[in-house]
Chain A
Amino acid sequence: QLQLQESGPGLVKPSETLSLTCSVSGGSITSSSYYWGWIRQPPGKGLEWIGIIYYSGSTYYNPSLKSRVTIFIDTSKNQFSLRLSSVTSADTAVYYCVRGIGSISWFDPWGQGTLVTVSS
């Protein structure tokens, strides 16, 4: 059974870069059928798609975050990662890593999520 697990700092200072990694177990990140992505949820609010990546390295980002987001993949470690630069308090959220079934798709499964707080 495929499982996703987020890891990274829970506290980031304003203007710095948020970095998270998603470790994939129970399946290969190089499968041609899937994309891998990030979604976030501010406390008490709804879901916002951040971006997706294919094992080849192709990426697609939410236009509202595109200037600050990088998603990259490490096939040797079966992991993919998120970097979000110049963070503000508005970036405080639970960050989920997800698998997409193809490039235009729903998301399943989801990681358990990790809370990242932006504060000095």
Chain B
Amino acid sequence: EIVMTQSPATLSVSPGERATLSCRASQDISSNLAWYQQKPGQAPRLLIYGASTRATGIPARFSGSGSGTDFTLTISSLQSEDFAVYYCQQYNNWPPMYTFGQGTKLEIK
């Protein structure tokens, strides 16, 4: 099983500042990585797939980068609605065995 490790567990950032979230895979997953945003009481929402492609309707302030084992989600200028939990997910296996990171909580500083 591919283990996904996110860091930090909690990130405190002020509105308007940049946030950088990390996700590391236990083995090479190429660019087969997605990022999701989850707000309290809501389902996760797809932000990024293919490590760097924004999903439909996702603002340009969200960007993803990385390949292989190390990935980053950057939010360039935090808005109030961006404070949430963020999960990464790998989809590199065959047969399918999807795994998620444990999440990073982005909170207001």
Q: Which residues of A contact B (CB under 8 A)?
A: 46-49, 52, 60, 62-63, 96, 101, 103-113
CB pair B89 A111 closer than 8 Å:
no
Chain A's closest residue to B46 (CB) is: A108
Which residues of chain B have C-beta atoms less than 8 A from A113's C-beta? Answer: 43
Number of A-B contacts (CB under 8 A): 50
CA distance A106 to B1 in the complex (A): 17
Which residues of chain A have C-beta atoms less than 8 A from B103's C-beta? Answer: 46
CA distance A105 to B89 in the complex (A): 9
Q: Which of B65-73, B75-83, B90-98 contacts A (4 or more CB under 8 A)?
A: B90-98
Q: Shortest distance in angstroms between B84's beta carbon and chain A's nearest beta carbon?
A: 14
CB pair A103 B96 closer than 8 Å:
yes
Which residues of chain A have C-beta atoms less than 8 A from B1's C-beta? Answer: 63
CA distance A62 to B93 in the complex (A): 12
Given contacts A96-B44, A101-B49, 19 further A-B contacts (CB under 8 A): A46-B102, A47-B44, A47-B87, A47-B89, A49-B98, A60-B96, A63-B1, A104-B32, A106-B34, A106-B49, A107-B34, A107-B89, A108-B55, A109-B46, A110-B44, A110-B45, A111-B43, A112-B42, A113-B43
Shortest beta-carbon contacts, A-B, top 9? A106-B34, A108-B46, A110-B43, A49-B98, A47-B100, A106-B49, A60-B96, A46-B102, A104-B91
Which residues of chain A have C-beta atoms less than 8 A from B74's C-beta? Answer: none
Q: Is the interface of B mostly helix, strand, loop or mixed?
A: loop
CA distance A49 to B96 in the complex (A): 10
CB pair B99 A49 closer than 8 Å:
yes
CB pair B100 A49 closer than 8 Å:
yes
CB pair A46 B87 closer than 8 Å:
yes
Which residues of chain B have C-beta atoms less than 8 A from A49's C-beta? Answer: 97-100
Which residues of chain A have C-beta atoms less than 8 A from B45's C-beta? Answer: 110
CA distance A102 to B102 in the complex (A): 24
**7 A-B pairs whose Cβ atoms sit less than 8 Å apart in the complex:** A46-B102, A60-B95, A104-B32, A104-B96, A105-B91, A106-B34, A106-B91
